[in-house]
A and B are shown apart, each in its own frame.
Chain A
Amino acid sequence: MAKSVSEKIYVTFWGTRGSISTPGSSTEKYGGNTSCVSLQHDKTTIILDAGTGIRNLGIDLFQQMKQNNTGLKLHLFLSHTHWDHIQGLPFFVPAYLKGAKLAIYGSPKKEAFLESILQRQMDVNYFPVEMNALAADISINEISKEKLNIGGLTIDWQEQVYHPGGCVRYRFTAGNKKVVYATDVELDKMFDQRNKTSKNKALQKEYLKFIHGADLLIADGQYTTEEYPTKVGYGHSSIPLVIETAYQQKVKQLAIFHHEPQHSDSFLDRLCSQFTQKYAAKKPPMTIFWAREGMTVPV
C-alpha cells in the first residue's frame, strides 16, 4: 500500500555552513549561509536554527504567504545560541509581520536566559531594531521533558554535552518516519576509548538510541580526520566517525552538515565522492550526502 501523503516530511536546507557565513564563488554549491533547516509536514512548518540561512527562508515564506493568501504559524527550534545558530533571526521577514505567529523553543538549561540572549543580540548597539519592536506574535518557550506534539509531528530531544555551552538534538517523528537533527556535537569525545566512565557510557547509549533507524540524520561533520587533532574541544565531530556511527545504527540517509568554513565546494565534492560510493556499496547501503543550500529532500 502506498504511504499516506501526510506522513511525508520535506526537509529543506537554507544554511549548511558552520561557525561563520562564507559567501563567495568557492562556496556557491554547498552554500555559505550558517545553520538553518526547515521541515514541512502537511501544514506544519518547523524551522531548525536561525543562522544566516533563515533570511532566505523568511523571504520564501513571505512569498508563499502572499501567493496563497494564508497566515504564518511557525515553530523555530534552536539547538543552542551560538552566533551561527541565531544570527539570522533579526533578518527573518515573518518576525516583522503583524499577525504572523512565531514560537521559539530552546533548551531549559538556558532558563530565563533564552529570551534575554535573543533580545541582547538585537540591542541597539548590535542592531537597529529591538526585539520588542517586532510586529509578529513571538513566544519564547523552554522545552520540557515531555514529548511535544505539533500538527502530526512528535518532537523529542536530548542535551548534547559535548559542545561548549551545550546543545540540543531533536527528533521529529511522523508515523513511521523519523528525522534527527544532531548538529554541534563532538562525537570524538563521546566515543573516546579512554573515557570509560559510567556517565560517558550512558551518554553514548542515549545518543545511539536516539539516532537508531533514522530515515534522515542531519549530523555535524565539520572536520576531516586530519583536521580534528588541532580542533579538539571545539565541539564538532570528525566525518568518518559520524558516518560509521550512523551506519552501525542503521540510519537510512545521512546529511553531513555544519561544513567547516575553510572547505570549498571542490573539497566537499572530493569528500562526498570518497564516502558516498563506499557506503552505497555496503549491504545494506546507506545514502550519504553533503547538505547543500537550496536542496529539499523528501523523507
Chain B
Amino acid sequence: MTISKTVRKKSSPVPVKDRAYSLDSTSKLSSTMQIPLVSVVEDLDEKSSSHLEVFQPNRQPQKIELGRKELIIGRVSECGIYLPYSNVSRQHARVFGKGEEFLVEDLDSTNGTFVNGVKISRCILRNNDQIRIGETRIQFVQRKFRV
C-alpha cells in the first residue's frame, strides 16, 4: 500500500515593492489628529440609553430613564413606578442592570409579570419588549452603541 503524502508548498513572499502598501507606509495614510480611544468609549457610553415607556389605563404615557439603580414597580407610593391598582402587588417587580444588560424580575407577585405575553420569573430585556403588569403596559426601549 502506498501512502501519499501531501506537502504544503510554502508560498514565496511577495516583495515589499509589489504590495499595495507596506507596513512602513501606513502612518502616511492615517489621520494627523489623534483621537484617544477612552474619549470615544465615553462618548458612545453617553449615547447609549435605555428607558421605559409606561402606559397606564386613562393616563398620559410616562417615560422613565434607566440607570444603575434598580427600579421597583408596585402598588406602594415609594415605588419608582407606582401602579395604584388592586391587581398589582405592593412590590410587584423590579428592573435592574447587570453587566451590559437590563433585566426584569417578578418579586413573587400574586398576579404575575409578563414579557411579550409570557409569564416570567426573570428575563433579560431586549429593545421593544413589552412588560405587562395588571392592565399596565411597559415598553423597554434601548439604544446601544458599541466600539
Contacts and interface: CB of A to CB of B under 8 A. Distances in A.
Q: Do A and B bind each other?
A: yes
Interface of A: 10, 12, 28-29, 272, 276, 280, 287, 289, 293-298
Given A289-B116, A294-B103, A296-B121, 12 more contacts: A10-B121, A276-B117, A289-B118, A294-B124, A295-B115, A295-B122, A295-B123, A296-B120, A297-B119, A297-B121, A298-B106, A298-B120
A280 B117 contact: yes
Contacts of A29: 126
B97 to A, nearest CB: 14
A28 B101 CA distance: 12
A94 to B, nearest CB: 20
Nearest to B127: A29
Contacts of B126: 28-29
Contacts of B103: 294
For chain B, what secondary structure do more than half of its interface residues adopt (helix, strand, loop), or is it mixed? strand
B117 A294 contact: no
A276 B115 CA distance: 13
Contacts of A287: 117-119
B121 A289 contact: no
Contacts of B101: 294
A297 B117 CA distance: 12
B118 A296 contact: no
A296 B126 CA distance: 14
B118 A297 contact: yes
Nearest to A272: B116
Contacts of A28: 126
B123 A296 contact: yes
Interface in B101-141: 101, 103, 106, 115-124, 126
Given A28-B126, A29-B126, A298 B121 contact: yes
A-B pairs with lowest CB-CB distance, top 7: A294-B124, A296-B122, A296-B121, A29-B126, A289-B118, A298-B121, A295-B123
Contacts of B117: 276, 280, 287, 289
Contacts of B119: 287, 297-298
Nearest to B118: A289
B127 to A, nearest CB: 8
Nearest to A289: B118
